[in-house]
Amino acid sequence: MSKPKVALYWCSSCGGCEESVVDLAQDILPVTSAVDIIFWPVAMDFKYSDIEVLQDGEIAATLINGAIRMDEQEHIAKLLRKKSQLIIAHGSCAHLGGVVGLANFYKREDVLGEAFKEVPTVKNPKGILPQVKTEEAGRELELPALHDTVKTLDQVVQVDYYIPGCPPPPELIKNAFAAILENKLPPKGTVLAEKKALCDSCSRKESKPDKIKLSKFKRLYEVEWDPEKCFLEEGIICLGPSTRDGCGERCIKANFPCRGCFGPTDEVLDQGAKSLSYLASLIDSDDEEEVKKIIDSIPDMAGLFYRYSLASSILRGNINRGTK
């Protein structure tokens, strides 16, 4: 009997998710011996035509990381969907849009302009921007087209499971492979991590007081490091309450507050809105001016609360960017 076929693909991502597979270390061995990796552009040389020739549903499972922001990515995602029994969104960008999803605060033209004209390290006196088609020495060259909106994987194709995280902890990937191989998968649509929020397993929860009232939001450098103390109690924004558990508190243990890469729990539609909602409730003032001052002590609010989930949020981005 032939081994089940597995494919791995990347879209708009930083490569960290690929790294997370490699981070399985010796645990990758039982996986590679149990399955046939038939497609993994970052690690091995395959061609798209290798996928095109497969039967529909011939691949047992495909892990796709990265958000969808180019037509090539959308095309391959759809192709892989057709050829795979299971599609697994791998990592925050595929799951929620991720950091690249923050581009949805801007128009495509602004993003391109910034990257190819405005940044100080770029010299582009003619102001040339990437084009889908270019004539060069009598030959037509082609580049994938950049979409105006960054999308999550499930906004493009149907996704069966999600492995959250930026990047996902190897443990979750290992468990996912095990579940696929042993056919012990939960109902479709499940995010393969915990159901509760991070506070449930946080090593600092013991110290958390019942009521927290804040008159200033602080940044890390403003407080002394105390590995026992809840960040929120110290006035440091931590998104642990609105973020799904399962990361093994990697950031917390490194004395860094949660930034929400595991996304919201099942019951929450919009992680950023929820985060704003609970943090606003901690503000210790009834005075409008003072409240404004306290809120102003949060730098880059949108980038903080929607760092990983903007593309999957209710608004999806800046609704005015089309008219900017």
**205 contributes a contact to another protein by CB under 8 A:** yes
Strand 133-136 and strand 84-90: the pairing is: unpaired
Q: Which residues, numbered 278-307, are part of the site for another protein (CB under 8 A)?
A: 278, 281-282
CA angle 207, 213, 218 (to 5 degrees): 80
Stretch that binds another protein, among 34-42, 170-178, 189-197, 247-255 (CB under 8 A): 189-197
**277 contributes a contact to another protein by CB under 8 A:** yes
Q: Which residues, numbered 256-275, are part of the site for another protein (CB under 8 A)?
A: 264-269, 274-275
Among 67, 89, 192, 198, binds another protein (CB under 8 A): 198
Q: If you search the block for the tokens 């008159």, which residue do you land on? A: 215
- SS3 (DSSP) at 171: helix
Please say which residue, 220 or 269, places its beta carbon nearer to another protein: 269
Q: Which of 173, 197, 176 is nearest to 185 (CA)?
A: 176
**200 contributes a contact to another protein by CB under 8 A:** yes
- The CB-of-98 to another protein minimum distance in angstroms stands at 20
Please say which residue, 189 or 227, places its beta carbon nearer to another protein: 189
Please say which residue, 101 or 263, places its beta carbon nearer to another protein: 263
- SS3 (DSSP) at 68: strand
Residues in contact with another protein, shown as a per-residue x/- string from 134 to 153 under the rule CB under 8 A: --------------------
> What's the rounded Cα separation, in Å, for the pair 123 and 50?
39
DSSP annotation string for 227-238: TTS-HHHHTB--
Q: Which of 247, 265, 263 is nearest to 305 (CA)?
A: 263
Among 212, 291, 298, 302, binds another protein (CB under 8 A): 212
**41 contributes a contact to another protein by CB under 8 A:** no
Any residues with CB less than 8 A from the CB of 269 and at least 6 apart, and which?
Answer: 314
Please say which residue, 213 or 219, places its beta carbon nearer to another protein: 213
- The CB-of-247 to another protein minimum distance in angstroms stands at 13
Using CB under 8 A as the binding criterion, the count of chain residues that bind another protein stands at: 30
Please say which residue, 19 or 200, places its beta carbon nearer to another protein: 200
Among 75, 82, 147, 208, binds another protein (CB under 8 A): 208
Judge whether 51 and 80 are in contact, CB under 8 Å: yes
Ramachandran category for residue 321: left, alpha or beta (phi over 0 → left; psi -120 to 50 → alpha): alpha
Any residues with CB less than 8 A from the CB of 250 and at least 6 apart, and which?
Answer: 169
Judge whether 90 and 154 are in contact, CB under 8 Å: no
CA angle 54, 57, 62 (to 5 degrees): 90
- The CB-of-217 to another protein minimum distance in angstroms stands at 15
Please give the residue ranges that form the binding site for another protein (CB under 8 A). Answer: 189, 195-200, 205, 208-213, 240-242, 245, 264-269, 274-275, 277-278, 281-282
